[in-house]
């Protein structure tokens, strides 16, 4: 079965550093998402991306965050200057259509020290 892949699985960084989290969505999917989950808390929506632009973003997704689909396969989340509170599991997800289920990648555990 096709799957969403994310790299790296773990990322440790110093506060203030930039990180890029990478995702390869399922190939025939058109809708792409980033979610995050702080340890012990719920899965939170960050941003959705369709037709090469952001379609929706949450209030968490401030100017420190950006997303890009640099080629036909990759979908990246960049955090420009990480903060301690950015430590979380970041999940990429993709969907075939607007009303369809989302498939989640296995996540990148980001630890900001």
Comparison of 25 and 107: residue with beta carbon closer to other proteins: 107
Taking CB under 8 A as the criterion, the residue among 28, 42, 70, 71 binding other proteins is: 42
Q: What's the rounded Cα separation, in Å, for the pair 8 and 83?
A: 19
| 65 touching other proteins, by CB under 8 A | no
| 101 touching other proteins, by CB under 8 A | yes
| 61 touching other proteins, by CB under 8 A | no
Other C-beta atoms within 10 Å of 85: how many? 10
Write out the DSSP string of 56-82.
EE-TT--TTEEEE--SSS-EEEEESS-
What tokens appear for 26 in the block? 């399922």
- Longest distance between any two alpha carbons in the chain, whole Å: 39
| 43 touching other proteins, by CB under 8 A | yes
Instruction: Supply the minimum distance, in Å, between the C-beta of residue 38 and other proteins.
Output: 12
Residues that bind other proteins (CB under 8 A): 31, 33, 35, 41-45, 48, 50, 55-56, 89, 91, 95, 98-99, 101-107
């Amino acid at each position: 079965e096709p799957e969403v892949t994310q790299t790296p699985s773990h990322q440790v960084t110093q506060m203030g550093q930039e990180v890029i989290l990478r995702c390869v969505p399922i190939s025939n999917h058109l809708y792409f998402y980033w979610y995050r989950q702080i340890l012990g808390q719920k899965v939170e929506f960050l941003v959705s991306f369709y037709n090469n632009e952001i379609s929706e973003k949450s209030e968490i997704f401030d100017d420190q965050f950006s997303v890009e689909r640099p080629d036909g396969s990759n979908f990246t989340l960049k955090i420009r200057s990480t903060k301690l509170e950015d430590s979380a599991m970041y999940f990429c997800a993709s969907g075939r259509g607007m009303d369809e289920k989302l498939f989640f990648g296995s996540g990148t555990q980001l630890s900001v020290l």
